Amino acid sequence: MRKLFFILMAFIFSVQQLFAQTPDEVSAMETNGKIYVVLAVCLTIFAGIVAYLIRIDRKLSKLEKQND
């Protein structure tokens, strides 16, 4: 579980690095009425929900194995 968390954090930070640019350039996050910001927020929420579902699924599988 901890490993998964680190992978997730690494992913989030690498995405941020991708968008972080020198100030005089307009980064992707700044274009189009900053709609990318909303997209990033929604995708983060969605990633969190999916990670949570996967975690519950794993826990259940473990329980099911113990019960057999």
| Shortest distance in whole angstroms from residue 56 CB to another protein | 6
Nearer to another protein, 20 or 50 (CB): 50
Classified as helix, coil or strand, 31 is coil
Asked if residue 68 lies in contact with residue 29, where contact means CB atoms within 8 angstroms, the answer is no
| Shortest distance in whole angstroms from residue 53 CB to another protein | 6
Which part of the chain contacts another protein (CB under 8 A), choosing from 5-13, 16-24, 34-42? 34-42
Asked if residue 19 lies in contact with residue 29, where contact means CB atoms within 8 angstroms, the answer is yes
User: Which tokens sit at 37?
Assistant: 């910001």
Q: Is the dihedral of CA 17, 20, 26, 31 positive or negative?
A: positive
Q: Give the interface with another protein as residue ranges (CB under 8 A).
A: 32, 35-36, 38-39, 42-43, 46, 50, 53-54, 56-58, 60-61, 63-64, 67
